[in-house]
Amino acid sequence: MEIGVVLSSQYGLVKCILEHLSAFELIQTSKHVCKLWNDVTEVILRGRRRMEFFYYEGSKTLPQKKILEKVKEEFSRDFQEFLRHDVYSVPTLGFIISSGDERQFHYSSIQNRDNYPYDDYKRLYDIFPKMRSLCVSSFDGIVTPSKEIETRRFVLPSFTFLSFPSFQNVKIHTFDLTSKSSSNVMIKDLIPDLEEDEVIKGVIAFSSDDVLNPTLGRLILNCMERSNKNIALAGALVSLTWCCSSTDQRPDVEMAKSNVSGFVFTGDGVQVKSIILACEVNNVREVERELSKLEPDKYPQDVTSYAFMFACCGRGKAHYRQESNIESSTFRRLFPHTKLVGCFCGGEIGINSFSNSTKV
């Protein structure tokens, strides 16, 4: 009997062969074989619920004037390799955090229609056509699962990519608008597919204005009213921000510099809390006391668990007597199996979701 006939009739054998492939490799392989392989691929992908993480940091060994040219080449290569071979759960939503001279690339690529880095982002849709939306934001510094990179403007471009697969009883919606839009905009106008009975559990919001603008303020209040003020809220004032779908046009530079975007989390499967560290919190003991209010023992810490940290640039090592990574390292100690990503920014947006306070 030919080996192809044997394989085409053995579900367990085919599953054993395919289950170690990345999502892209699975999809490409099953296309060219038979219905059984396609069926096995669907079963395997439905069972994967892992959020994927990618991090790139520009080379420190090159002269500064050559760093930016090298980043274009390295980032495109490494990001595509990651998407094709290291992503095991098909993303429905992507989130890119970036810092350093990468922001200058955003300005030049938007103005001059250069291919970098926007087309690298859009290539996500070529590899994963079922992905619904991508949110991109640029900051002064990055927090990764393993370290913090504080403000390094015009030096060492860095990128972090986080993908969200589909989860049972969880919906993640994106919103995107210019801050010049009407301050009376309602959330139903921003997210048309948000059902009336969906309960909003959490909001992550970004504004590229220097202050919390009325449009974003109205959106946050609208979300709180929908959920009887029982939501988690986090976000930041950033350099650039926008969301795009597979059919969106390239954003113009004015929109990117004056924009509001973010995520809304709904569904019974969402467990989320948010906390703000007051200015008076300035040592390890106080940070641990505050973060313990998130109740580490009550939340799952696995591949479906992520944490976001948005810290004003003033909360870096200068705030902690020249000690670095105080807040992130304390969080990792309390939540050892939950990956932490985030940024240093021009200001934080947030609320203490476990208290009775409604102050944003």
Cα Rg of the chain (Å, integer): 21
Q: What is the pLDDT of residue 59?
A: 66
CA angle 214, 205, 182 (to 5 degrees): 30
Distance CA 131, CA 96 (A): 14
Strands (E) in 165-271, as ranges, are 171-178, 200-207, 232-237, 240-244, 259-266
Q: How many CA atoms, within 13 angstroms, populate the side-chain half-sphere of residue 323? A: 10
Domain positions in the chain are: 3-46, 50-360
Closest CA to 23 of 55, 58, 57, 47: 47
Extended strands (E) in 208-351: 232-237, 240-244, 259-266, 306-312, 339-345, 348-350
Strand partners for 148:
143
User: H or E stretch including 95?
Assistant: strand 93-99
Could you give the CA distance from residue 242 to residue 346 in angstroms, rounded to a whole number? 17
CA separation for the pair 61, 25 (Å, rounded): 34
Structure tokens at 209: 């204005």
Count Cβ atoms within 10 A of the Cβ of residue 248 and give its class: 0-12 exposed, 13-18 middle, 19 or more buried.
Answer: middle
pLDDT digits (tens, 9 = 90+) for 286-332: 999 999 998 877 777 776 788 999 988 888 778 888 888 889 889 99
Query: What is the DSSP pairing of strand 148-149 with strand 306-312?
Result: unpaired
Q: What is the pLDDT of residue 182?
A: 57
Sheet holding 52-57, edge to edge: 52-57, 158-164, 93-99, 133-139, 240-244
Joined tokens for residue 131: 């992905």
At 163, list the tokens.
Answer: 């993908």
Which pLDDT does position 217 carry in this prediction?
A: 80
For residue 328 the two structure tokens come to 């992130």
* CA 75/CA 56 separation, integer angstroms: 7
* Residue 275 CB contacts under 8 Å (≥ 6 apart), including other chains: 290, 291, 293, 294, 350, 352, 353, 354
CA distance 346 to 253: 19
Terminal CA-CA length for the chain: 69
Q: What is the DSSP string of 26-72?
A: HHHHHHTS-HHHHHHHHHHHHT----EEEEEE--SSS-HHHHHHHHH
Residue type, 72: K
User: Using omega within 30 degrees of 0 as the cis cutoff, is the peptide bond preceding 165 cis?
Assistant: no
Q: Is the pTM of this model over 0.85?
A: no
Which segments in the chain show pLDDT lower than 70?
Answer: 1-11, 14, 17, 32, 37, 59-68, 100-118, 146-156, 178-185, 209-213, 246, 248-258, 303, 354-360
Rounded Cα distance between 346 and 348, Å, is: 7
Cβ atoms within 10 Å of 147's Cβ, excluding its own: 13
pLDDT of residue 234: 92
Q: Looking at residue 64, what is its pLDDT?
A: 59
Structure confidence at residue 66 (pLDDT): 67
Per-residue model confidence (pLDDT) at position 3: 46
